Amino acid sequence: MTRPSLAPIAAVAAGILLLAAAGVTAFQSPPEQPRSELAASAPPADPITSVQGHLKEYPDDATGWATLGHAYLQQARISGDPTYYPKAEGALKKSLALQPKKNATALSGLGALANARHDFTQARDWARQAQAADPFDATARAVEDDALTQLGNYAGARLAAQKMLDLEPGVPSFTRASYHFEMDGNPASARKALERALAEATQPSDIAYCRYYLGELAFNEGDPAQAQPEYQAGLKVDPENAQLLAGLAKARAATGDLDGARADYAAVVARLPLTQYLLEYAELLQTMGREDEYRQQLDLISAQDQLMAANGARDDLMASQVAADHGKPENAVRHARAEWSLRKSVLVADALAWALHRAGKNDEARQYAITAGKLGWRNATFSYHRGMIELALGNRSDARRHLARALEINPHFSLVQAPKAKSALNSLKGL
C-alpha cells in the first residue's frame, strides 16, 4: 500500500498544507552547515551510557549499535568534538555487520556521519542505500537532502525534502523546506515554514532550533533588533545552547553592544569551538582593536582544523573563507578550488569568487560570482562580493548596483566587510 502524498512544498507558504497531528514525530538529523544541521528531539539525559549498558548485556543487538552510533553523532553536534566521529563509525559499521540487510538506521547514520565529515558524495550514496533498505525511512531522505544541497543539486535536494514532508511532516521536514525557500529568495515563505515547524515543536531542542533560524532570518534580512528576541526565546527553553548564544552575540554586535557581544562569544567558543564561531569572535575582536586576542582566535581556528582532519573531517570551504580575509589569498584559492572540484554549490562558488578576487584574478572571479547568484538567494555577502569584483574590474554601474543591494538586504552582514561596502558605495556615489 502506498502512502498518500501531501501538498507540495510550495503549499506550506500558502498555508494550505493540511496535516494530521497523529503520528507526527521528530527525529535526529545529521550535523551539517549552513542549515542542514536540523532540529532533533532531545535525547535521554545520557543516551551513550544508557545504550552502552544495554549492549553489554545484548552485544549482538544491531539496532542497539546503530542507536549508539547516532548517539555519538548527536554528542559530536552538541559538543563540537570530532573525536566522536570514529566512535560513531565503529558503532554503525558494527550494526551493519550484525545486520547487513534491511538496516536503514545504520545506513542513514553512516550518511549523517559522511555529511558531518563533509564527504557529501558518500553521504548521498549511503542515503540512497538506506532508502533501498526502507523506502519509508524519512531520516534517509533528510540525509539525502542535506548531501544534495551541499553538492549543488538543488532540484534533487528539493525533491528529497518533499518526499520527507510526505513521509514525516514535522520539525525536521518543515525546517528543511524553510531553507529551500530561503535559498530561492523567498524569506517570507521561509518564515512561514519555520513558524509551522515551531507550531509542531514540543521538545526544548526543537523549539530552540526553530527560534534560532527565525532569528537568523530576521538578521539576514537586516533586522538584528527583531532577531534578538527570537534568540532569547530559544535560550529560555535551552539555556546552554551555544548556537543561540552566538546568534545573540552577532545581533548585539550589530546593534552596537560590542562588549556584550564579546562576553557572549567568549562563552560560545568555550562551549562549542567551531570554526564559524571562532571566526565571528575573531572579527569582533579585530573590530574592537584587540589585536592580540584576534590573533589568538585565528590560532585556535588552525588547531580546530587540525583536530577535524585527524578525525576524518575536512572543510576547505571554511578554510578558504578564513584565508581570504585573514590569511594568504593564494591559500584561499587553493582551498576553494579543492572544494569546487568536489561540489558545485552556490556557497562554494561565492567562496571561490572571493578568493580569486583577493588574489587579483577578477575576470575569473566574476564568473563564479555570477554562478553564486543563480538561485536568487537574498544573500548580502554574495552581493557584496559581486560588487567588489565589479569595482575591481572597473564596472562602476554594476558595482554600485550590487553593493547597494548588499546593504539593502542587510547593512549588518559583516562587522568587517559592511563598513567597506558602505565606503565603496559612497565613493561610487561621489560622497
Q: How confident is the model at residue 430 (pLDDT cuts 50, 70, 90)?
A: confident
Judged against a pLDDT cut of 70, whether residue 108 lies above it is answered with yes
Q: How many other CB atoms are found less than 10 A from the CB of residue 263?
A: 14
Is the model more confident about 269 or about 308? Answer: 269
Q: What is the pLDDT of residue 312?
A: 87
d(CA 330, CA 292) in angstroms, rounded, equals 24
Least confident of 2-6, 230-234, 388-392: 2-6
For 392, the grid coordinates are 575591481
Q: What is the pLDDT of residue 45?
A: 52
Q: State the average pLDDT for the chain.
A: 90
Q: What is the pLDDT of residue 10?
A: 45
Q: Could you give the angle at which helices 154-167 and 171-183 cross, rounded to 10 degrees?
A: 150
Judged against a pLDDT cut of 70, whether residue 47 lies above it is answered with yes
Mean pLDDT value of segment 213-241: 97
| DSSP 8-state assignment for residue 174 | H
Please tell me whether residue 133 adopts helix, strand or coil conformation.
helix
Is the model more confident about 16 or about 380? Answer: 380
d(CA 362, CA 240) in angstroms, rounded, equals 44
Least confident of 26-40, 210-224, 237-251, 271-285: 26-40
Q: What is the pLDDT of residue 13?
A: 43
Q: Counting Cβ atoms within 10 Å, is residue 401 exposed (0-12), middle (13-18) or buried (19+)?
A: middle
Kindly write down the DSSP assignment for every residue of 99-126, as one continuous string. Answer: --SS-HHHHHHHHHHHHHTT-HHHHHHH
Least confident of 78-87, 96-105, 172-181, 395-404: 78-87
Judged against a pLDDT cut of 60, whether residue 11 lies above it is answered with no
Q: What is the pLDDT of residue 32?
A: 39
Mean pLDDT value of segment 360-368: 98
Q: How many other CB atoms are found less than 10 A from the CB of residue 216?
A: 22
Contact 323, 352 (CB under 8 A): no
pLDDT tens for 117-148 read 999 999 999 999 999 999 999 999 999 999 99
pLDDT tens for 167-222 read 999 999 999 999 999 999 999 999 999 999 999 999 999 999 999 999 999 999 99
Mean pLDDT value of segment 266-275: 95
Judged against a pLDDT cut of 60, whether residue 12 lies above it is answered with no
Judged against a pLDDT cut of 90, whether residue 269 lies above it is answered with yes
367 vs 352, 378, 385, 390, CA distance in Å?
10, 19, 12, 11
Q: What is the pLDDT of residue 290?
A: 97
For 216, the grid coordinates are 537568523
Q: How confident is the model at residue 5 (pLDDT cuts 50, 70, 90)?
A: very low
Contact 138, 162 (CB under 8 A): no
Contact 239, 269 (CB under 8 A): no
Domains of the chain: 25-192 (1.25.40.10), 203-290 (1.25.40.10), 291-429 (1.25.40.10)
Q: Counting Cβ atoms within 10 Å, is residue 430 exposed (0-12), middle (13-18) or buried (19+)?
A: exposed
Judged against a pLDDT cut of 50, whether residue 164 lies above it is answered with yes
Q: What is the pLDDT of residue 28?
A: 32
Q: What is the pLDDT of residue 313?
A: 85
